[in-house]
Amino acid sequence: MQINTVGVVGAGTMGNGIAQICAMTGLNVIMVDISTAALLRAEQSIGSSLDKLLRKGSLDESGKRDVLGHLRYSTDKNELVDADLVIEAATEAESLKLAILRDIDAIVGPKTVIASNTSSISITKLAAATTRPDRFIGMHFFNPVPVMALVELIRGLQTSDSTQTAAEEFVSRIHKTAISAKNSPGFAVNRILVPMINEAVFVLQEGLASAEHIDEGMRLGCNHPIGPLALADLIGLDTLLAVMEVFYNNFKDSKYRPAPLLREMVEAGYLGRKSGRGFFRYA
């Protein structure tokens, strides 16, 4: 299957990054969101990201114009009708994703592959919201998408071999590396990563060390490029809480209980970089 046009549903941080890397590899991209303001922010964010590449010498003005020429934005889901692949990149909320996937399925052609960028929700359950579970796959990108090399591919129970192959070829085309994981809560990477971050929140909550020292300890002691609390702020504390709740509800194991401090910070609106405050403050 040849993928030439990609639809991205959701103009948040992940959607922006996915749209940008697709456009940078010559794919035509239509980004859809219900919010005009979100689409304007996405356009500005992608422009700023490309400007950084300009300053680094990784891109020239002609290249920037070419990338921007492959992008368009719309609040009308019907614009997805000609997409070969549609990637759902909405907030990590099951009911929202299911509703969006039903809408996408009703619009796109019968050969279109639908993917979800979910970081924890069952791919089989999401696929069941469509009439094409064989042409549905989990395609989990990592933040920041233009920088991170990995895409995690997750098959649902009914995902076909041809869909898996098409997804692998697409990931290779956008110059990323794919790994495959079984359809289990959190898949492979987040099953390891998110509980580790949650444990760092417990360490902070219990006063064992300051946020600065927790992160410095993990950077210098474990050679991590970024501390777990700074990483939490980058990912979004609301997203981390949602993932931990998926783990806890599915595994029924107390080791996956969300740290009370994590929940309280989300309730306070301290969501990390996107809100200007998380475990650290941001301008």
Distance (Å, whole) CA 212 – CA 279? 9
Ligand-binding annotation for 49, yes or no, is: yes
Ligand-binding annotation for 264, yes or no, is: no
Ligand-binding annotation for 11, yes or no, is: yes
Ligand-binding annotation for 119, yes or no, is: yes
Distance (Å, whole) CA 131 – CA 221? 49
Ligand-binding annotation for 14, yes or no, is: yes
Ligand-binding annotation for 255, yes or no, is: no
Ligand-binding annotation for 184, yes or no, is: no
Among candidate residues 28, 140, 183, 198, the one labeled active-site is 140
Fill in the amino acid letter for 85: L
Ligand-binding annotation for 92, yes or no, is: yes
In the block, which residue shows the tokens 């946020």?
A: 211
Ligand-binding annotation for 274, yes or no, is: yes
Among candidate residues 116, 152, 183, 198, the one labeled active-site is 152
Is 119 annotated in the active site? yes
Cβ contacts of 257 within 8 Å, gap of 6 or more: 244, 248
Is 190 annotated in the active site? yes
Ligand-binding annotation for 176, yes or no, is: no
Among candidate residues 45, 183, 190, 198, the one labeled active-site is 190
Is 45 annotated in the active site? no
Among candidate residues 16, 28, 116, 119, the one labeled active-site is 119
- Positions marked catalytic: 119, 140, 152, 190
Residue stretches of the annotated binding site for NAD(+): 10-15, 33, 92, 97, 119, 143, 274
Residue ranges of the annotated binding site for CoA are 49, 56, 119
